[in-house]
Amino acid sequence: MAKVIFIMTDSQRYDMVNANVSTGLRTPCLDSLAARGMRFTRAYTTQPVCQPARCALFTGMYPHSCNSWTNSSALSSDVHTIGQRLRDHGIRTAYIGKWHLDGGDYFGLGRCPDGWDPAYWYDMRNYLDELTPEERTASRHDTTMQTQDIPSSFTYAHRCTDRAVQFLQEHGQESDFLLCVSYDEPHDPYLCPQEYWKPYEDFVFPSAPNVADTLDGKPDYQKVWAGQKLDQERTNVQIRAPYYFGCNSFVDSQIGRVLDAADTFAGEDTIVFYTSDHGDFLESHCLTGKGPAAYDEITRIPLFIKGPGIASGSVSSAPVSHINLAPTVLDLFGLQCPPVFPGNSLLPQLYGNAERVNQYCFIEFGRYEVDHDGFGGFQPMRSVFDGRYKLSINLLSQDEFYDLQQDPYEMNNLINDPSCYTEICRLHDAILDNMNQTRDPFRGYYWHRRPWRKDAPAATWSYTGYTRQSENDYEERQLDYATGLPMETSSRRK
């Protein structure tokens, strides 16, 4: 039996939560949550874009495995969410907030997908449908905050929280449930009451050394991305974003409302997950926003988990990934990890029975959004982090290798350093193996044959020569093309 609340934000960097790094930003509710459970200092998204990040959280699969390698591309019909999996075992499930997995535009389709209780479903399209045309437009421009003091009740975050509190009032005493609360904040265009953003009007966010990174020795595509910023003087860059930081503190207050309701209506034994989908560069490496890169500013995310048996104030520095969270949720309900899940449950770490459950964390990139130009288009990247070293294979550009122990701000690209060749190849092999094991549809000889790889095999049209069929536990066993009979093994030589 388990009572689980899964809370997430959007575009909240690891160092935008005071419990992780004291920068001057105020996040008292999240700080309190961190003190009540385990705080992970090396947690990573699977892809630093909204929808791909969410697919790993709520399907347990990598973006490339479920048709979510870009925004505005619906999940494959044979992919099942944790909502469906738990519902099918008689567990109450509710999802409130930003979904982003239905193939619609930014706001979603406004329809509750299978596996979640329609009585509580509330995506951004539902929110906009409650507003007048004038209110809709006002909600999409941060200039609205310059002309009026936005009441909390007008915001998406507040209305999501109201529904979460209602769910806990009505079902908090039940023995089993999963409640997901997914905030859009602090993502732009920013909307919050003045009391949250006004204190940041003169605030300057501390600049990391990599704000001065001019991308020397870095991939060409990053220089295209940076554009005219490469010609600017970087030593005097000041990071000012009062609306962004204000919404960061505002969403913290809304999370606090959910946590208070959990304590009141569900009790201390409630298990709470908190994370964010990705970060924001905020001028590091001459870049802004997020996109096709594996730098910590956009891939390292906050992650706190509290619950019975998890030591208060505990800290884990082992590398973990969003790909671990769906297996962890199922594990809490006593359900076996399905064969399509590539990740491991974090319960051994949470309960102090293992220091780490991952040898590697994998990060990827495909495209920012199928609807949008202006974000670099198709930028295929596969990256891996082992707790110290990070390797990024940028298929259409140059590759990157960083030693985060010696170079925590990822300034010095060591991809062509002979002394690092052994470690680079080890991580490269891990990427190639993961692509094969997870049926990455973009796998092929070109990922192996990189300019620096001395022992890469000759290019062949058949590549590994394997067929890799799906091990989908929700359907009958797939049929072997050569015989028409049920496959005996999913991965086999063709």
Catalytic residue among 50, 66, 180, 247: 50
Question: What letter represents residue 288's amino acid?
Answer: T
Catalytic residue among 29, 66, 80, 100: 100
- CA–CA separation, 167 and 161 (whole Å): 10
For residue 397, the SS3 value is coil
* Residue 363: DSSP 8-state: E
Question: Tokens in use for 227?
Answer: 């554009």
Q: How many CB atoms lie within 10 A of CB 258?
A: 24
Burial bucket for residue 472 (CB in 10 Å: 0-12, 13-18, 19+): middle
Question: Tokens in use for 90?
Answer: 């008689």
Q: Is 50 a catalytic residue?
A: yes
Dihedral sign for Cα atoms in the order 47, 50, 55, 57: positive
Instruction: Give the N- to C-terminal CA distance of the chain in Å, as an integer.
Output: 44
DSSP secondary structure letters along 43-99? EE-SSSSHHHHHHHHHHSS-GGGTT-SSBT-PPPTT---HHHHHHTTT-EEEEEE--
Question: What letter represents residue 461's amino acid?
Answer: W
Question: Tokens in use for 472?
Answer: 């989908």
Question: Rounded to 5 degrees, what angle do the CA atoms 257, 263, 268 make?
Answer: 145
Q: Are the CB atoms for 256 and 33 separated by under 8 Å? A: no
Specify which residues 383 forms β-bridges with. Answer: 363, 392
Alpha helices for 88-237 (secondary structure H): 124-129, 133-139, 144-147, 156-171, 194-197, 220-226
Question: What letter represents residue 177's amino acid?
Answer: F
Q: Is 372 a catalytic residue?
A: no
How many residues make up the chain in this entry? 494
Give the residue from 271, 260, 316 showing the smallest Cα distance to 20. 316
Which residues are tagged catalytic? 50, 100
